[in-house]
Amino acid sequence: MTAGEVITVTIRRGGEHGAPVPVDFRVPITGDPTVLDLVTAIQRDQAPDLGYRFSCRVGMCGSCAMLVQGRPRWTCRTRVSLVARRGRLDLAPLPGLPVVKDLAVDMAPFFEKWAAAGGGFRPCESGDAVLALVAPESPARRNADAAIECIGCGVCAAACRVAGAEPGYPGPAALNRVWTLVNDVRDADGPRRLAEVAGPGGLFTCHSQGACTACCPKGLDPSRSIAGLKRAAVLAALRGEP
């Protein structure tokens, strides 16, 4: 798609009321727009009641994820020219979450999984205010660093077929978060968090096929984080821990 052409955007519209229906919009291309630019143009010029969500527009907030051509993506940093095929673009809300309206889903169940998996940091009680010294090149610090830049967009969870099929599975984002905490020496729960997520339906439900990693727009590697948790859980079990 180049400037001057007209693209047909199919948006799966619907919400709490009524079954979703695909609706076509014809949008003239100006410049080299992102998918989010197109959705905004549609809302401005053709469908003022179109529901969608965004905030930062620069890949920081994680609120703009949708299914683009059937694949979960952040839309504020996805160029139409890269994903449109034969002058068409197909948009739908993220799967596996309740639709609020049109392209906006309720992210609460996604974040509830983080909470349930123990995604909250709990500081050590150091008594006197001694700061933990964490060497930048220590393996634990590197592991945490590699996984910490998650923006909570939900793309990985939408890409994970296991998360889609098994409601109890914490999903790649929540487990990626747990991996950062297991590697955080300042966290009071540390490795004890493993027992929370290592049981049936937990992290061993992951098949290591890496759909999450392939789709994460931040280039994070939840699949590796989960593999790290698996290894840590196995070592703990061999020590007789959980």
Using CB under 8 A, pick the residue from 61, 109, 204, 218 that binds other proteins. Answer: 204
Q: Is residue 110 at the binding interface for ligand FES, with CB under 6 A as the rule? A: no
Instruction: Select from ligand FES, ligand SF4, other proteins, none the partner in contact with residue 144, using the beta carbon and a kind-dependent cut-off of 5 to 8 Å.
Output: none
Residues 41 and 69: their CA atoms lie apart, in Å, by 19
Site residues (CB under 6 A) for ligand SF4, limited to 111-170 = 150-156, 159-160, 162-163
Smallest distance from other proteins to CB 169, Å: 9
Smallest distance from ligand SF4 to CB 208, Å: 5
Smaller CB distance to other proteins: residue 98 or 242? 242
Using CB under 6 A, pick the residue from 10, 23, 47, 57 that binds ligand FES. Answer: 57
Q: Is residue 54 at the binding interface for ligand FES, with CB under 6 A as the rule? A: yes
Q: Is residue 176 at the binding interface for ligand SF4, with CB under 6 A as the rule? A: yes
Q: Is residue 186 at the binding interface for ligand FES, with CB under 6 A as the rule? A: no
Smallest distance from ligand SF4 to CB 1, Å: 25
Q: What are the DSSP calls for the chain, one per residue?
A: --TT-EEEEEEEE-BSSS--EEEEEEEE--SS-BHHHHHHHHHHHT-TT-----S-SSSSS---EEEETTEEEESTT-BHHHH-BTTEEEEEPPTTS-EEETTEE--HHHHHHHHHTT-S--B---SS-PPP---TTSHHHHHHHHHHT-----HHHHH-HHHHH-TT---HHHHHHHHHHHT-TTBSSGGGHHHHHSSTTSGGG-----HHHHH-TT---HHHHHHHHHHHHHHHHHTT--
Instruction: Select from other proteins, ligand FES, ligand SF4, none the partner in contact with residue 198, using the beta carbon and a kind-dependent cut-off of 5 to 8 Å.
Output: other proteins
Site mask, ligand FES, residues 59-98, x = CB under 6 A? xxxxxx---------x-x----------------------
41 within 8 A of 29, measured Cβ to Cβ: no
Residues 167 and 190: their CA atoms lie apart, in Å, by 25
Residues 45 and 12: their CA atoms lie apart, in Å, by 18
Q: Is residue 240 at the binding interface for other proteins, with CB under 8 A as the rule? A: yes
Binding site for ligand FES (CB under 6 A): 54-57, 59-64, 74, 76
Binding site for ligand SF4 (CB under 6 A): 62, 150-156, 159-160, 162-163, 172-173, 176, 206-212, 216, 218, 220, 222-223, 226
